[in-house]
Amino acid sequence: MKYIFEALNWASSFLEENRREKYAAELLLMNQLEMGRAHFLANLRMELTEHQIAQFKESIHKHAEGIPIQYIIGFEDFYGRRFYVNEEVLIPRPETEELVEGILKRIPALFGNKEIPKVTDIGTGSGAIAITLALENAKCEVTAIDIAPASIEVAKRNATVLGAEVNFIHGDLLQPLLCDPSVRMDIIVSNPPYIPDEEIATLSTVVKDHEPMRALAGGKDGLDFYRRLAEQIPQILNAPGLVAFEIGAGQGESVKDLMERSLPDAKVEIVYDINGKDRFVFAEQ
C-alpha cells in the first residue's frame, strides 16, 4: 500500500468484510489529508507517507469496530455549518434540518413583527438546533438546556466557533425555567430521546454502543419525554406560541394527541420528512 487508490481499495474491502459502508474510507482519508473531493479524486496516485498510512489504518480499524465516522473525524455538517461532536452528544441528522426549517418558516406568520421571539431548545446536545436558529434568525433570543454538563460544553464550543449568541443552562427539560414564574417562551423545540427501550438492542452497534444512551432511550413506548414536556409546556408557553418536536416514525398520532390535550386551543399537525415518515409534530397556539 503506497498510493491513495491502493489505500482506498484496501480500506473499502476491509470495511465491507466488517459490514461497514465502504464509502467511509474515502471520507476518512479525505479528512485526514485535508482535501476537497475534487482535489482528492484528481490525486488518487499521490504517494502516502508511512505515517499517513498508519494513521489511516487506525481510523479504518476504529470504524470497523463500530465507532461512527463523525466521532473519528470530530465533526458533522448541519444546515451548512460544521459542528464539533464527540461521544457526549448525538450526531446531528439530516431530518433535524427539516425540523429547523419548519420552525424558521413558521416564525413570520405566527409572530409577525414581534421584536424578539424567545426560543428554548430542550436537550440541546451538540447545540445544532439552538445555534442554527440563532444564526438563521437574528431576532430570536435562544436558550438551550441539557441535563448533561459534558453535552453543554460541546454545545458552548460550537456556539463560540460559529459566533452564535445562545444562553446555555444545565437542567432537566424545562425545569430550570419553571423555577421562575415570570419566564415565558414563544417557541419550544426539542428532539428528545424517542426510541422505545426494547428497540435499543436492535440498533446498529455504531449507534447503540457509541452514541449517548441518554439521547436515545425514550422509555417503554418511546414517549416518556413527550409526556413530561406536555405537562410542563402550558406553564411557560406564550400565546401566540409554537412547539416543535422531532419524533420517531410511527409516533405522530400519539404525540399529536398529547399536545392536543396539553394545549386544547392549539392547532397541532403531523409533518412528514423527505422520506415520507411522520417525523415532526408542530403545535401553534
Taking the CB of residue 220, how many other CB atoms lie within 10 A of it?
10
Known binding residue 276? Answer is no
User: Was 123 annotated as part of a binding site?
Assistant: yes
Buried b vs exposed e over 42-81: b needs ≥16 C-beta within 10 Å?
eeeeeebeeebeebbeebbeebbebbbbbbbeebbebbeb
Q: Is 146 one of the annotated binding-site residues?
A: yes
126 is in an annotated binding site: yes
Q: Does the annotation list 59 as a binding residue? A: no
Question: Is 191 a known ligand-binding residue?
Answer: yes
Determine if residue 13 is labeled as part of a ligand binding site: no
192 annotated as belonging to a binding site for a ligand: yes
Over 54-103, what HEC string results? Answer: HHHHHHHHHHHCCCCHHHHHCEEEECCEEEECCCCCCCCCHHHHHHHHHH
The Cα 119–Cα 169 span in angstroms is 13
Binding residues for S-adenosyl-L-methionine: 123-127, 146, 191
- Point out the annotated binding site for substrate: 191-194
Which residues are part of a known binding site? 123-127, 146, 191-194
